Every structure is written in structure tokens, then in C-alpha cells.
Structure 1
Amino acid sequence: MSTTIATPRRSRTAGAEPQAKPRRRMKSPYPSWFFLPAGVFYVILFLVPTVASFWFSLTRWTLFDVEFIGFENYIRFFQEPPLVQGFVNTFIYAFVTSGAKVVLGLLFGVLLSSQIIGRGFTRSVIFFPVLASTIGVGIMFKVLLDPFDGPVNAGLEAIGLQGPGWWTDPATALLTVAMVDIWKGVGLATLIFIAGMVAIPQEYYEAARVDGAGAGKTFRHITLPLLQPATATVVLLSLIGGLRSFDLIWAITKGGPGFTSDVLASVVYKQYQAGFFGLSTAGNVVLFVVVAAIIFPLSWWLNRKGDQS
């Protein structure tokens, strides 16, 4: 008589993997009131002055009197040709300087990430202008590019070329300051791009070499996409700096000749000097709105694009 041994059926849930427990949000070890000092400073140093600026931009005010005039300052701001010229120059200056810093910073970053002779020294030379005082750089280039006694034009005349009126010619004044700004700021852009390239895993490049990809395809399909965070950082920092630029322009041209190299910040300063406090406050608000209207959507788009790549 044969006996059969009944094997117990395996339950349906026996082999199932245990469900992962939902992660519990880590509780901060610091009490919420630790954030109170930072909040107080934020309110006092940012929110209160911002709200006050919006209010005073709607008034004609002095240190002793305030008269509410509505949007008259804004209407006047966009009716005055010199003020409109400064508004337009702000965009030209910002886009020229930021675009050049991105392109040159990327080129220098690629070059100085490769194995070249004197790489460390070249990195130091390119980054050194970032450490220099902006006012000092402006004064130095104002002397170097003097159209009459400057060494740059003297050198050009020595080889038979006529030097331009760099910062005295209305056609070249704004671009001259932009050129100096690019020279001073491209080192920071280069440093950011170098940091981004160093962070790219070398396995990607090794796989590309195995597949027979050349330098151009490797740069286009590996380096550029993975440099998206660094590119976004350089674009945003350069654009913010260009839109808010004042000290370098004031040190070299003071907005001249005439109003040809004025930007929003220098226009605002000139209105303060002339005693038009309400009009200059309106210019400050316009500058704030312009920077916010460009930077916030651009930041969202660049970060969204980086997440999708």
C-alpha cells in the first residue's frame, strides 16, 4: 500500500516581497523658533524696504514732505528719452555680457579641463580679474583706453592703425564697458564650467570612446547635456549682474557721453543726485520688476529643462 505525502500548498503571499514601509519625514532637531532671527532680518531688510519703495514710487517726496501722485512717476519715466535710452541700454548690456560670458566660459572651461601645459597658471590668470575691485578695474581701463593718451591707442598708432574713441565715442562707449565687464567676469563662468566638467563621470567618456564617438559627438551628446546645471547657473548669474550693473559703467563713462551708455541703475542714481527722489524710486521699482520678470521664468525654464535631460 503506497502512501502519498501531501505537500502543503505554498500560500500566495508567502513568496511576495514585503511592501516597503513609507518613509517617515525626518523631524528637524531644531525648534521652529530658531528661524525667527532670520525671519526678522528678512522682514526688516527686504520686505519693509520693498513695500516702502513701491509706496514712495507713487509719490513726490523729499525728506520732509510726501505728496501722493499715483503713477505719474512711471508715466514720466517712460516719456523721458534719456530714461528710455537707459532702459534699452540695460537689455543690450545684459544680453551682450551674459551671452559672451557663457560662450567664452564654456570654451575656456573645455580648454582648461584638458591636459595642457601650464593649465594651473592659465586658470589663475583667467580667474584673477574676478578678485579685483570693480572700481579699480574701471579706473584702470579708463586710463588704458583713453583715446588721446592711452597706451592702447598709442600702440595701435605705432603699427599704423587709428585707435577709436573707446569710451568717448557714443557708438562704442557702451560696448567698451561691456567688453571690460566680460574680461572681468569670464573667470567666474570658467570656474563654474570647470567644476561641472569635473563632476561628469568618466565612464560616459570611456563608453563613448569604445563606441567610436569622436570629440565633437562626445561634446555634443555627453558634455553639453550634463553641463546643464552649470550652464543655468552661469546664465542666471551673468544676466542678473548685467541687468543690475552700475559700478563699472559709472567708473568708466558715468553714463556718457551724454546718455549713450546709461543703464537703469545709473539713471536712477542720476535722478537721486538731481533731487527727483520719487522718479528715481520709480526707476528702482522698474529695475526690480524687470529683473524679476526675466530671471524667475528663465530660472524655472532652465531648471525644468535640466530635469528633463
Structure 2
Amino acid sequence: MTKVFKRIYTYKFLLPAAIVYIVIFIVPTVMSFFFSLTRWTLQDWDFIGLQNFRTFFEEPSLTIGFKNTLIYAAVTSSMKVVFGLLLGVFLTGKIRTKSYLRSVVFFPTLVSTIAVGIAFSMMMHPTMGLLNQALAQLGIEGPDWLGDTRIALLSVAFVDIWKGVGLATVIFIAGIMAIPEEYHEALQIDGGNAWNKFWNIIVPLSRPATNAVIILSFIGGLRSFDLIWSMTKGGPGFATDVIASIIYKQYQGGFYGLATAGNVILFLFVTAIVYPLSRYLTRTEVDL
């Protein structure tokens, strides 16, 4: 009887969180799967089966959207890992202003994504932008950062990296500081240098932090929309179109059922990539 009472008592604490999770996540997810099989408006709906999915896969820019989504996610997540790790190592070293520098590095994460997109789209203007004006002072003709189909996606990815590397750095700082001091002392006894410390201690033993940054950044990259839309709206042409921007264009056109089907496809696409990746990365972690 006592065990039953303790179990019920425990579930009472879990109940509020479970209700919030069901209302905010489970119910909208189930409704999305259902309405993806319908042609719906705000007033009524008609069940049409898998027609929305067939129509969505016939979208002319879908192939480009999938390719751009994967490129964008791979570039942003890999660069956040590299720069986040390097900044994490630097900001856990013996520097006098590291608390201030940590705040500076993290600050872009707090700024609105739309505001960042608008600001950088002006900075990257081909003639009046700050970047090209600075390059002109050095005698270099700057490119059309957001108007050239060859570099537009990478230009937006650069802004994403600048904005998101602060969070990656904080995660790496926590991971590096969690490494037991005994490893550093053993390295000093063996006469190891800074490179040995980085490669043989920090890199392998901060693997949980690395995995967290990879997963979070990759999910964010696969689902990215607001920064891309505020800077290029998917242009020029389809050069920066990703799956999320294609879905949004369907919503703009009033094809709500089609757009909902696209959201379901995006959800399954992200899950199919991230779940096995997460399982693989977890198996490679080193126990401290």
C-alpha cells in the first residue's frame, strides 16, 4: 500500500508537465497528421487521402529545397562545432577578461533572428552595404552576397553561424570545465604541451558537448526558416529555398492542407536523419 501511495504521489508531480506536453506537442502533432490528409480552410475540411503528399512531391523546387536544406544544415552545424570548440578552449584558458568575452560571444544568441536577418541583408547590399564598402577601401570588389546564386545560401549560413556560435561556445565551456582536473595533471607530469592537451584530453572528453552541439545545430539547420526568409525569401530564384520556405509559400497561397502535408514530411525528414545520428553519436562518447 505504501509503494502504491508513493507511486501516486510521484505521478502527481509529473501530471502538470504531462498535461502541458500533451496539449502543446501531442495534440498538435496528431492534428497535423490528420489535416495533412484533408483540404481544409478555417471554416471546413474535406478528406482527400494522400493527394496532398503527391502534390507536394510534384513541387518543382522541392529537389532544390531538399538539397539546400541538407547543405545549410551541414555547413552551419559543422562550423558551429569548430568555432564553438575553439572559442570554448580560449574562454576557459587563463585570460583576465574571459567573463566579459563570454558575454560578448553569447550576445548574438539573444538578438531577434528577424532583426539579425534585416541588419545583415543591409550590410550585404552589393553597393551600399558595409561589407562591400569595407572591401572597396582595400581595393577589392565585393560580390553580390545575397543576389549571386552561387554564394547566396552560404552567405545566409555565415550569418546563422555568427548568431548561433555563442550557444555552441557555452555548451563547450560547460563540457570542458566538466573534465576532471586529474587528466590535466597527468598530462603535465608526462610533459605534454598545449596541443597534446587539446587533442588528447579536450577533444575526446568533451564529446558529450560536441554531440549536443551537432544535434541541436543540425536540427536547427534542417528546420531553418526565419533567417533565410528575412534575408532572401528563398531567392534569388530558388537558390536559398529550403523545405520550410517552400511550405510557407504554400501557406501564403492558401493551400493549407498541402502546407500541412509539407510540415509532416519535414517532421519525418528531420526525424529520419537526427534519430540515427543521435544514436551513433551517443555510442561514440567517452566515459569520464
Structure 2 partner of 1:268: 247
Q: Distance in 2 between matches of 1:254 and 1:287?
A: 19
Structure 1 partner of 2:236: 257
Distance 1:114 1:31, change over 3 A: closer
Q: Which moved more, 1:219-228 or 1:188-197?
A: 219-228
Q: Does 1:279 align with 2:224?
A: no
Q: Does 1:74 align with 2:53?
A: yes
Q: Distance in 1 between matches of 2:282 and 2:23?
A: 30
Amino acid at match of 1:94: A
Q: Distance in 2 between matches of 1:159 and 1:208?
A: 45
Distance 1:118 1:32, change over 3 A: closer
- 1:100 Cα deviation after fit: 0.3
Q: Distance in 2 between matches of 1:195 and 1:61?
A: 47
Amino acid at match of 2:29: T
Q: Distance in 1 between matches of 2:55 and 2:287?
A: 44
Q: Distance in 2 between matches of 1:258 and 1:73?
A: 24
Distance 1:165 1:80, change over 3 A: same
Q: Deviations over 1:170-199 (max 9, x none)?
A: 212111110000001111111111111111
Structure 1 partner of 2:25: 46
Q: Deviations over 1:28-72 (max 9, x none)?
A: 693424433332332222222211211221222223343333222
Q: Does 1:160 align with 2:139?
A: yes
Give structure 2 stretches of 5+ with no counterpart. none
- 1:297 Cα deviation after fit: 1.8
Q: Give 1:40-189 correspondences, 5 Å limit.
A: 40-189=19-168
Q: Which moved more, 1:213-222 or 1:89-98?
A: 213-222
Structure 1 partner of 2:196: 217
Q: Distance in 2 between matches of 1:307 and 1:29?
A: 37
Q: Which moved more, 1:113-122 or 1:202-211?
A: 113-122
SS in 1 for 2:261: helix
Task: Name the TM-score, length of structure 1 as normaliser.
Answer: 0.86
Q: Distance in 2 between matches of 1:200 and 1:306?
A: 13
Q: Which is greater in Rg?
A: 1
SS in 2 for 1:167: coil
| Two-structure CA RMSD over aligned residues (Å) | 2.0
Q: Which moved more, 1:171-180 or 1:48-57?
A: 48-57
Q: Runs in 1 of length 4+ with deviation above 6 angstroms?
A: none
Distance 1:205 1:143, change over 3 A: same
Q: Is the 8 A contact 2:205 2:286 kept in 1?
A: no
- 1:106 Cα deviation after fit: 0.6
Q: Which moved more, 1:246-255 or 1:219-228?
A: 219-228
Q: Distance in 2 between matches of 1:29 and 1:207?
A: 49
Amino acid at match of 1:146: H
Q: Is the 8 A contact 1:89 1:263 kept in 2?
A: yes
How many residue pairs get aligned? The number is 284
Distance 1:222 1:307, change over 3 A: closer
Structure 2 partner of 1:15: none
- 1:244 Cα deviation after fit: 1.2
- 1:238 Cα deviation after fit: 0.7
Q: Distance in 1 between matches of 2:98 and 2:23?
A: 46
Q: Is the 8 A contact 1:77 1:84 kept in 2?
A: no
Q: Distance in 2 between matches of 1:187 and 1:215?
A: 24
Q: Is the 8 A contact 2:40 2:257 kept in 1?
A: yes
Give structure 1 stretches of 5+ with no counterpart. 1-23
Q: Deviations over 1:122-177 (max 9, x none)?
A: 22221111111111111110111111211211221222211111112221211111
Q: Does 1:302 align with 2:270?
A: no
Q: Which moved more, 1:102-111 or 1:41-50?
A: 41-50
